[in-house]
Amino acid sequence: MPHSATRQDVNAQPREPDASHSPRSPHSRTKRRGPSPTARRQRKAALLFLAPACVMVAVYVIWPILSSIRLSFYNWDGMTEQTFVGLDNFIELFQAPTFYTALKNNVIWLALFLLAPPMGLAVALYLNQAVAGIRIVKSLFFAPFVLSGVVVGLIFSWFYDPTFGLLAVILGHGVPVLGDARYATFGIVFAALWPQTAYCMILYLTGLTALNSEQLEAARMEGAKGWTMLWHVVLPQLRPVTFMAIVVTVIGALRSFDLISVMTGGGPFESSTVLAYYMYDQAIKYYRIGYSASIAVVLFAIMLVYIVYHLRRMLRNEI
């Protein structure tokens, strides 16, 4: 009997837990478990789709920007060896009277060109109605968007012509808009507003079709209409579209070139030149590649500051 009791006591001793049945800690489970094959395939596919775009941005955006910044510190005519001159190009640029004329004209372009987004919004609100014949009217407003800058410049050059232009017919006498240093820049900006307003109109028409119908219906049930509906319901939903319209308009104002080249060539007496045309003039006509690169760097800095300011403002409003 004592011998059997001892055997029972031995059998009653607790067994060590089997390793195969031991509970795993959360750390060990997390450590051993990796991404699933499906997740790995999706990540690989995303990288493959992004790779061409990243390469294109690096080759056609990042590399030219870095090359322009580097060239701005050199004196180069495009053929002979480059000569390092440090900040001499920038010093000469900030001492040139033409630079300040071009900068003043760019400010005028910015101030007047920013009329395009609200004008485009007004046209988009009008065209967003379901009335008879609205498709024909839409086609008429779409037309300026598909015209090239050269065609627009030629049309308005004929419009401003003091001998046979439509403006002379309307006023009863000829006004040399493009031949007068006081009016040349304003005449070009007015011509540029025509296609830019059409572009902003297309952006806003796209945004209006994507409005939240539930919010609109709730606002109507609360009695909102007219300006109240537009200001408190429609415009907040169009904020991303407005940001895009402003950014595109600012970039278009700062890099305005084609209309100036066709309508005035920067004249009369460089009174209508802007930074983009001044940069082209120095690089192509006078073979001053380094000096024109310094103009490009200044223009890029102005664009960057303006766009970053509006981007931060939009993100702050979103938060």
Identify the pLDDT of residue 214. 84
Residue pLDDT, tens place only, 46-81: 899 999 999 999 999 999 999 999 999 999 998 899
Q: Are residues 158 and 204 in the same domain?
A: yes
Among the candidates 71, 87, 119, a domain finishes at: 71
Residue 141 domain-assigned (yes or no): yes
Q: What is the pLDDT of residues 2-44, one digit of tens each?
A: 444 444 444 445 555 454 444 555 554 545 566 788 888 888 8
Residues 55 and 136 in one domain: no
pLDDT of the residue at 101: 95
Do 57 and 125 belong together in one domain?
Answer: no
Over residues 285-309, mean pLDDT: 91
Query: What confidence score (pLDDT) does residue 108 get?
Result: 95
63 assigned to some structural domain: yes
- 213 and 64 fall within a common domain: no
Find where tokens 């195969």 sit.
20
Is the model's pLDDT at 99 over the cut of 70?
Answer: yes
- Residue 300, pLDDT > 50, answer yes
Q: Would you say residue 76 lies in a domain? A: no
Q: Are 55 and 139 members of one domain?
A: no
What are 274-285's pLDDT values in tens digits?
999 999 999 999
- 220 with 138, same domain: the answer is yes
DSSP H or E run through 72: none
Percentage of residues of the chain with pLDDT beyond 90? 50
Q: Is the pLDDT of residue 91 over 90?
A: yes
Whether 82 maps to a domain, the answer reads no
The pLDDT confidence band at residue 211, using thresholds 50, 70 and 90, is: confident
**pLDDT tens digits, one per residue of 225-238:** 778 888 888 888 89
Residues 66 and 100 in one domain: no
**Nearest by Cα to 290 from 63, 64, 79, 76:** 76
pLDDT at 88 over 60: yes
Report strand pairing: 83-84 vs 74-75: antiparallel
Q: Which residue has the higher pLDDT, 317 or 183?
A: 183
pTM, to two decimals: 0.79
Q: Is residue 44 part of a domain?
A: yes
pLDDT tens digits along 235-266: 888 988 998 999 899 888 988 899 999 999 99
The answer on 127 and 59 residing in a single domain is no
319: confidence class by pLDDT, cuts 50, 70, 90: low
Tell whether 155 and 44 lie within a shared domain: no
pLDDT: which is higher, 212 or 15: 212
Q: How far apart are CA 180 and CA 145, in angstroms?
A: 28
Kindly state the greatest CA–CA separation across the chain: 135
No. of H helices and E strands in the chain? Answer: 18, 2
What pLDDT is stored for residue 223 in this prediction?
79
**Pair 217, 305 in one domain:** yes
Task: State the total domains in the chain.
Answer: 2
| C-alpha pair distances (Å), 197 with each of 28, 113, 114, 194, 200 | 61, 9, 10, 6, 5
Please determine, for residue 270, whether its predicted confidence score (pLDDT) is greater than 70.
Answer: yes
| CATH number, domain with residue 132 | 1.10.3720.10
User: Is 197 found in the same domain as 62?
Assistant: no
Same domain for 103 and 204, yes or no, is yes
Mean of the per-residue pLDDT values of the chain:
85
Residue at 280 is within a domain: yes
Per the domain annotation, does 14 fall within a domain? no
Query: What does the pLDDT read at residue 32?
Result: 55
Domain annotation covers residue 77: no
pLDDT reported for residue 134:
77
pLDDT at residue 183, as a whole number:
92
Asked if pLDDT for residue 145 goes beyond 90, the answer is no
Phi/psi for 84 (5° steps) reads: -75, 125
Residue 31's pLDDT is 53
| Nearest partner of 106 among 247, 276, 267, 279, judged by Cα | 276
Domain that holds residue 112: 96-318
- Helix or strand run (H / E) with residue 74: strand 74-75
> Domain boundary residue among 26, 55, 71?
71
pLDDT of 135:
79
158 or 228, higher pLDDT? 158
